[in-house]
Chain A
Amino acid sequence: MKSKIHSAHSSRKYLQRRQFLKFAGGSAAAIAIISACKKDDDNNNPGDGSIPLGSDDIGILNYAYALEQLEAAFYTQVVASLYTGISTTEQAYLTDIRDHEIAHREFFKNALGDKAIPALEVDFSAINFGSRDSVLGTAKAFEDLGVSAYNGAGQLIKSPDYLLLAGKIVSVEARHAATIRDLISNGTFADNTVIDTNGLDKSMSPPQVLSVAKNYLKSKIDASRLPTN
């Protein structure tokens, strides 16, 4: 499994070429020129105990791994302490979703191998796990956030293989988001709070996503070396 990432590194030339082809698309040409003109100033770990995600595709995979850790921990606790009055369908769905998020988390852990960030410490003190409203409200926030995070990360990924993997996961997150929304209020699976007038879902950058996710994390994440385009 470690070898996967290593082979990705050994094909660095290919990835760089990919990145270049991306720049050559036109709109990003200005950025290509800027990066060609200035030295790459290395922005390393700020040394405040925060966990660096790393750079390039590894950084993006760690970013996804961090979000999947958060979701998996949440649903694990939801299923371990089911809220009052839960229906059979709700329990079945929340259990399925827990298993999906654990599968995602463990997949990233293995795919990253020795490049993986450590297990994150979560902070769920704002969530009342005995309350349906609190649990489903948080689930909705996490799922919509996850969808927009993967949608926004797609353009930051250089390897087509990793892009496809992110695509395989994001549609499952979107299925979760729709389902949770329908449990809260049937028919809100894709309402105009998430879908715009062009019929497009949201996408968010890593800093936007992490500014929300940090409210549920004790661990501090350093995303400063993630790609920005």
Chain B
Amino acid sequence: MNLHNIISEIEKVDPEVYERLDSRRKAIRQFAGIGRRLALTAVPLAFGAMFKSAYGQTTTSIVDVLQYALTLEYLESEFYKKAVDATGLVPDGAAKGAITTIRDHEVAHVNFLTTAINAMGSTPVAKPAFDFSGAKGAGNGPFKDAFSNYGLFLAVAQTFEDTGVRAYKGQAGNLISNNDVLTAALNIHSVEARHAAHIRSMRRANTSDNTIKPWITGKDTGGIGDAVQASYNGEELTNQAGIEIVNINGKSISQAAATESFDEPLTMEQVLMIVDPFLPA
């Protein structure tokens, strides 16, 4: 292993590597010192740590994303805990079973993210005192009957799940530098999408509205209305990376199918605006 070659290779892809490491000479000296002190097997780890300090910002932004995800998972897990505990809200049988399954996943996500944030040396954010009525703590918002009105409960659940899918999707690019965290986030993202599909099917059955499907058509809220429109805006996109999907290559792909076949991301700012009514003022 030739240390000079390694630094030279890095320089090809990152010309500023020396600024990050002070100077080439200092970097080599620093690394040679590490090499003397450590067994050879530990060298890659020390090397990683050296670059972690040089590229430290990456680590910070990853923790920020995890804290943001934790906040959203708190929102979902507390929501489903209250729903499962609310007498007479979710019908016994298949419905209760499904909501319990989803609650357990959201609680597991909270625990998983808490552990991950701790492992990265940061303190997990505290659980907010949510106002599920959507009135910033006043308790009298548009969803104030969500734990007594089953249809309204399902409507809020659908919105939380579809928003959660979009929120994780919007952060994938910010996690690209860390394979483990990215993969874990993707593995949560697809679970949220499975939840969303099932909740949508439950709403379809409960409302007998066959226009509600497991996938999102256009920017349609599925009859929930203006209060949740921000969670669906942008889903009407039919052009992906400059390629029009409607009737692509002469195939019969409708406008509806084109929008359904790709879910769209939301930025952190967009999601925080959406969940703001559920957070204390």
Instruction: Please report A residues at the B interface, Cβ cutoff 8 Å.
Output: 1, 4, 13, 16-22, 24-30, 33, 36-37, 89, 92-93, 96, 99-104, 106-107, 109-111, 147, 150-152, 154-155, 157-158, 160-161, 163-165, 167-179, 182, 186-187, 189-191, 195, 197-203, 229
Least CB distance from A211 to B in Å reads 20
Given contacts A22-B179, A27-B179, contact A201 B190 (CB under 8 A): yes
Contacts of B176 in A (CB 8 A): 18, 21-22, 157-158, 160, 163
> In the bound complex, do residue B262 and residue A179 qualify as a contact, i.e. CB atoms below 8 Å apart?
no
Least CB distance from B6 to A in Å reads 5
A21 nearest in chain B by CB position: B177
> In the bound complex, do residue A187 and residue B183 qualify as a contact, i.e. CB atoms below 8 Å apart?
no
> In the bound complex, do residue B189 and residue A170 qualify as a contact, i.e. CB atoms below 8 Å apart?
yes
A109 to B172, CA, bound (A): 24
A181 nearest in chain B by CB position: B194
Interface residue from A101, A175, A191, A203 paired with B183 (Cβ < 8 Å): A203
Interface pairs (19), CB distance under 8 Å: A16-B13, A26-B178, A29-B51, A33-B6, A37-B6, A93-B213, A99-B252, A106-B253, A110-B249, A168-B262, A171-B193, A175-B214, A178-B197, A189-B194, A190-B101, A190-B191, A195-B105, A201-B187, A203-B183
> In the bound complex, do residue B108 and residue A199 qualify as a contact, i.e. CB atoms below 8 Å apart?
yes
- For the A-B complex with A101-B261, A152-B183 known, give 13 more contacts whose Cβ atoms are closer than 8 Å: A1-B243, A20-B14, A21-B177, A106-B253, A151-B183, A155-B182, A168-B169, A172-B262, A176-B215, A182-B197, A187-B101, A199-B105, A200-B184
> In the bound complex, do residue A201 and residue B191 qualify as a contact, i.e. CB atoms below 8 Å apart?
yes
Contacts of A200 in B (CB 8 A): 112, 184, 187-188, 191
A55 to B6, CA, bound (A): 23
> In the bound complex, do residue B197 and residue A198 qualify as a contact, i.e. CB atoms below 8 Å apart?
no
Contacts of B104 in A (CB 8 A): 199
> In the bound complex, do residue A36 and residue B101 qualify as a contact, i.e. CB atoms below 8 Å apart?
no
CB-based closest 5 A-B pairs: A199-B108, A29-B48, A30-B44, A174-B193, A160-B173
The interface stretch among B52-60, B126-134, B139-147, B151-159 is B52-60
> In the bound complex, do residue B52 and residue A163 qualify as a contact, i.e. CB atoms below 8 Å apart?
no
B165 proximal to A (CB < 8 A): yes
A15 nearest in chain B by CB position: B13
Contacts of A201 in B (CB 8 A): 186-188, 190-191, 194
Contacts of A164 in B (CB 8 A): 169, 172-173, 265
